[in-house]
Amino acid sequence: MKIYVDAPFGKAAKEMLRAGVHPDICQFRDELEQEEMQRQALAEADILLGNPKRLDWLQQASYLKWIQFHSTGFEYYRDLQTTAIVTNMRGFYAEPCAETIVAGLMALYRGIDRFSVLKRDKVWTGIAARPQLQLLQQKKVIVVGWGSIGKRIAKILEGFDCEIFVYSRSLPEALVRTPEQLIEALPKMDIVVACLPGTDDTRGFFTTQMIRSMRPTAVFCNVGRGNLLEDEGELVDALMQGRLGGAVLDVTAIEPLPSDHPLWSCPNTILSQHTGGGYTDEHGGIVQLFLENLQLFKEGKPLKNQVQLHRGY
């Protein structure tokens, strides 16, 4: 069996993977110097681990029986026509993404972002800064999207005695289930956390009206997809004009963010640069899940985290 790997693995993850798949043949894209060698390896592979950028190559990989993405999102591959089983990393990044959002909120409320700049500039403000600091405790939070990340964020925030509300079209117990109900709820919320996946239904979901419905002290968080906002410029304007209290953004409409983008200059804004899912042994965890799925694949059993490309989840 031939396995093609297009993932940014280091030496330890590669050794772990090679040991786990032996005696199957495992080829890594970054170890094949020529593009033609990479294309040929993918064309001959039975299994793909990773997210190749060359869609035309992937479309022509007719021997593939299983594709394991190393990401949760896969909207880049929505139009791919394949008979292969497709799996993703659903749930794998929930804890680091949740901790990133909570860390961002804590940084804003406790002034850590500003104190970091003051430390760099060797400026002491001391007692004068105390009245500006806020508490995360007992904030009203609406989580938009009740997947693994949203659930984990809610669980952590419950430890701060936050009052949690949920927007979900399918969750029976959700009190907010339509965009109209969300617009009605937003003026009551201190924090909005968007965790929606990238689908046709979620692109531009968070409208200008929704941003304008938020209270001036509210914080907008996005750890889902950068195309969630109907108009990112409206968010920028709200932050610049003080119509929002702040933002914690792991994702943006354009990535990497251009050096002249206005988000760099927005006050009270944390930009974590789409690193929310990262942690020390991220690659080892990906390999471990792949090996578990590989064993199921060889035994002819259903694989974990199967998705449908055309549906986006």
pLDDT per residue over 89-105, tens digit each? 999 999 999 999 999 99
Q: Inform me whether the pLDDT recorded for 173 exceeds 90.
A: no
- Looking at residue 198, what is its pLDDT? 86
Please say if 22 is a catalytic residue: no
Phi then psi for 120, rounded to 5 degrees?
-60, -40
Rounded distance, CA 133 to CA 63, Å? Answer: 58
Q: Distance (Å, rounded) from C-alpha 299 to C-alpha 49? A: 18
Rounded average pLDDT over 267-278: 97
Residue 255 is a catalytic residue: yes
Catalytic residue among 177, 243, 261, 274: 274
Predicted confidence at residue 212, as pLDDT, reads 98
The arrangement of strands across the sheet holding 140-144 comes to 163-167, 140-144, 191-194, 219-222, 246-249, 269-271
**Catalytic residue (choose from 29, 70, 225, 283):** 225
Binning the chain into helix, strand and coil, the percentages to the nearest 5 are 40, 15, 45
- Tokens 């940084």 — which residue? 107
CATH topology of domain 94-271: Rossmann fold (3.40.50)
Distances in Å between the alpha carbon of 171 and those of 30, 167, 168, 193, 224? 43, 8, 6, 17, 18
- Is pLDDT of 310 > 90? no
The reply to whether 274 belongs to the active site is yes
What does the pLDDT read at residue 19? 97
One-letter amino acid for residue 104 of the chain: G
Chain mean pLDDT for the chain: 97
Is the per-residue pLDDT at 313 higher than 90?
Answer: no
16-56 confidence digits (pLDDT tens): 999 999 999 999 999 999 999 999 999 999 999 999 999 99
Segment 195-224 mean pLDDT? 96
| Neighbour tally for 95: CB within 10 Å | 15
DSSP 8-state code for residue 256:
S
> Which CATH number applies to 2-92+279-298?
3.40.50.720
- The whole-number average pLDDT for the span 303-308 is 96
Residue 268 confidence (pLDDT): 97
The residue assigned the tokens 């031939």 is 2
Give per-residue pLDDT as tens, 101-155: 999 999 999 999 999 999 999 999 999 999 999 999 999 999 999 999 999 999 9
Residue of 255, 292, 310, 311 marked catalytic: 255
Task: Give the pLDDT score at 130.
Answer: 97
Phi-psi region at 300: left, alpha or beta (left = phi > 0; alpha = psi -120 to 50): left
Q: Where are the domains of the chain?
A: 2-92+279-298, 94-271
Report the range of poorest mean pLDDT among 195-199, 204-208, 243-247. Answer: 195-199
E strand or H helix that includes residue 96: helix 94-109
Q: Per-residue pLDDT averaged across 286-312, rounded? A: 96
pLDDT at position 221: 98
Those residues with Cβ within 8 angstroms of residue 267's Cβ, 6 or more apart along the chain or in another chain:
239, 240, 242, 246
Spatial contact of 5 and 50, defined as CB atoms under 8 Å apart: yes
